[in-house]
Structure 1
Amino acid sequence: MSVNIDSCVVTPGSDDYVDEAWQLKEEINEREGVLKQRHNFFSDAYRRSTVHCYVREGELIGFAAVRRDGYILFLAVSPELRGEGIGKQLVARVAEDHDTITCHARTSNENALQFYEHLGFEIKRRIDDYYEDGGDAYYLKLGSDVGITDKISELMRR
């Protein structure tokens, strides 16, 4: 990752970067048809989460909003910067604070599924009609049964 990228943590209850995160999410939604949350749902969930952010030259380029139990509500990386290790770094930051990490991903979101599989997440189950628009999801887990600490350490060496 480039040295001109700064990281910060937005604590629960804060609005820091919420508008920028919404804009990044919407950009991804328009391009890829994923991350389809409504504004009120997104902003409320964001404010209740711990949010790990990466910022370059004042612009939010990636974030992970995480609940206290290690569930990733939102993970987004600017499409122009994918493949640069930002998503991997965000998951590694979440792993520093949690024994297990879980999330949902659309069954049709091949990019996300490949990303999570590469990190060692396992599909635990499929949930039909999970999303508001009727889309199906996989529930994914990285954690104690797959050695999260070792996996993230290995991941960061790559």
Structure 2
Amino acid sequence: MSVNIDSRVVTPGSDDHVDEAWQLKEAINRQEGVLKQRYDFFTSAYRRSTVYCYLQEDELVGFAAVRRDGYILFLAVSPDCRGRGLGKRLVARVADEHDTITCHARTSNENALQFYEHLGFEIKRRIDNYYEDGGDAYYLKLGSDAGLADRISELMRR
């Protein structure tokens, strides 16, 4: 049985779905020990971002909060919905609007690093003590001045 996934875009300045996004982020944090941002930081960054959301039966199951420059602040997909291409589709939505996509990922977050590597992101540098709790991060980048849309289109055909 197929379940419909609806997409929505939350524009900067809005807090539509911010509480659901916080709850999803916190559930992932409890389960996987990642996405450790504090509430005030998270909600402030969310409200300043364009947020691409996926909802299933009016429940938020995935989102990507993105700055104007194509930097992904947060990317989260419910563990129950992983493996269906939602994360890839969220990155593809970002690629529709930006020539280059960047983000940080914890050096210890193997799931995220494998996901980003599969999409073609490259590790540009390691940053020690990047996170508030002292965790290290990789700075990742996808795309260049040309070709990102073609790479994402190819990825979506796989």
Partner of 2:55: 55
Per-residue Cα deviation, 1:102-135 (whole angstroms, up to 9, x for no partner): 0000000000000000000000000000000000
In 2, Cα distance between the equivalents of 1:144 and 1:134? 30
Q: Which amino acid aligns with 1:118?
A: H
Alignment of 1:79-90 (within 5 A): 79-90=79-90
Alignment of 1:124-139 (within 5 A): 124-139=124-139
In 1, Cα distance between the equivalents of 2:146 and 2:24? 31
4+ long deviations beyond 4 Å: none
What RMSD, in angstroms, separates the aligned Cα atoms of the two structures? 1.1
Partner of 1:36: 36
Structure 2, unpaired ranges of 5+: none
Counterpart secondary structure, 1:52: strand
Partner of 2:27: 27
Give the fraction of aligned pairs with identical amino acids, expressed as a percent.
83
In 2, Cα distance between the equivalents of 1:146 and 1:111? 28
Partner of 1:77: 77
In 2, Cα distance between the equivalents of 1:108 and 1:21? 23
Conservation of the 8 A alpha-carbon contact between 2:99 and 2:145: no
Partner of 1:45: 45
Per-residue Cα deviation, 1:41-69 (whole angstroms, up to 9, x for no partner): 00000000000000000100000000000
Deviates more, 1:60-69 or 1:138-147: 138-147
Shift of 1:149: 1.5
How many residues were matched structurally?
157
In 2, Cα distance between the equivalents of 1:138 and 1:147? 23
In 2, Cα distance between the equivalents of 1:3 and 1:36? 30
Shift of 1:147: 2.8
Give TM-score, length-normalised by structure 1.
Answer: 0.97
Deviates more, 1:145-154 or 1:22-31: 145-154
Partner of 1:67: 67
Give TM-score, length-normalised by structure 2.
Answer: 0.97
In 1, Cα distance between the equivalents of 2:82 and 2:114? 13
Counterpart secondary structure, 1:132: coil
Counterpart secondary structure, 1:55: strand
In 1, Cα distance between the equivalents of 2:72 and 2:83? 20
Counterpart secondary structure, 2:94: helix
Deviates more, 1:65-74 or 1:140-149: 140-149
Q: Which amino acid aligns with 2:81?
A: L
In 2, Cα distance between the equivalents of 1:111 and 1:132? 21
